[in-house]
Amino acid sequence: MDKLGLKPGVIYGEDVYKLLSYAKEQGFALPAVNVTSSSTAIATLEAAKEAKSPIILQTSNGGAAFFAGKAISNSNQEASIAGAIAAAHFIRSVAPLYGVPVILHSDHCAKKLLPWLDGMLDADEAFFKEHGTPLFSSHMIDLSEEDLKSNIDTTAKYLKRSAAINLWLEMEVGITGGEEDGVNNEDVDNNSLYTQPEDIWAIYETLSGISKMFSIAAGFGNVHGVYQPGNVKLRPEILGKHQEYVAGKLSQSNDSKPVFFVFHGGSGSSKDEFNKAISYGVVKVNLDTDLQWAYLVGHRDFILTNIDYLKTQVGNPEGAGKPNKKKYDPRVWVRAGEQSMKARVVEALNDFHAAGKL
């Protein structure tokens, strides 16, 4: 990866394209980790540093609002806009210290949340005017619940805006089932979880005429959350058929995998499913539910192990006058959550063959 010339810290524009192209060519994918605080961001960056891998950090609409603070009204998306921007500035400030390239992304933005995306793009444009780069590396627009034409037309409009400031744009077609961040698709028709090659070509044909900087989260049975084995029927081979179809339409191209695909609903999937999806051009895998659990586990285990030191400020099994500050200091128990989450991110980097790429 040295030949790509990527600097540590948040990367933009052509560097994002080079990194994701290299991932597609070399057969690895980057986990995209939803961060809701400086603590979860640090855990993720530390994992990337340890595994010697690039990484993607992203904020969801709800996660961004949480970053700003639950006391702030979000009636006009003001908390989500402010929180996403605050997270971006924080990550930009500390990411270079970890020595890895970082893609800074925003997650699902449905039609009703477009004011959130507009607010982030306003910040990107202002930052670009002053610094020559956008604030974020990329954004996602998710109009998968709309009809295909509306999805493509609106996405094209946002890609034009993004392309003017060297932003990558991810879009979705085919609904991802399950529930995440307040969006519930648990009862959708299973047929809507699987995309058709003609739809992928229609998207690719339109968007590639605007910019090469886009990716497609195409449904192949994906479901958010973690469910009992057998309840989710992933068909990653569908992505291979999509690549064949698009490549066949591009008669003058030698690229057998022209589409950058994204795997949503990755938590709970098997390594074999990840490997197959990556072999068909998946370069980004969203992980949220598994990492929420991993972050909790560190806190839970610390509290259960040290419960007799956490009932009072003074007094524990070592003596009635012994202070407990070294146990209840947030830097101790929050750190326990960071370490357990870090371990799970490192596991994902290994599973997706991204570890050791730096």
* Active-site residue flag, 308: no
Q: Quick one: pLDDT at residue 225?
A: 52
Percent of the chain topping pLDDT 70: 91
State pLDDT tens for residues 74-87. Answer: 999 999 999 999 99
pLDDT at 224 over 60: no
pLDDT at 219 over 50: yes
Of 91-105, 246-260, 324-338, the poorest mean pLDDT is in 246-260
d(CA 35, CA 86): 12
186 exposure class (CB count in 10 Å sphere: 0-12, 13-18, 19+): exposed
Q: Quick one: pLDDT at residue 176?
A: 56
State pLDDT tens for residues 282-329. Answer: 999 999 999 999 999 999 999 999 999 999 999 999 999 999 999 999
**Phi, psi at residue 210, to the nearest 5°?**
-105, -45
Contact call for residues 333 and 295 (beta carbons, < 8 A): no
State pLDDT tens for residues 103-156. Answer: 999 999 999 999 999 999 999 999 999 999 999 999 999 999 999 999 999 999
Note the pTM of the prediction, 2 decimals: 0.92
State pLDDT tens for residues 186-204. Answer: 444 445 568 999 999 999 9
pLDDT class of 231 with cuts at 50, 70, 90? low
d(CA 136, CA 161): 14
pLDDT at 230 over 70: no
Pick from 302, 290, 303: nearest CA to 344: 290
Identified catalytic residue from 107, 199, 288, 351: 107
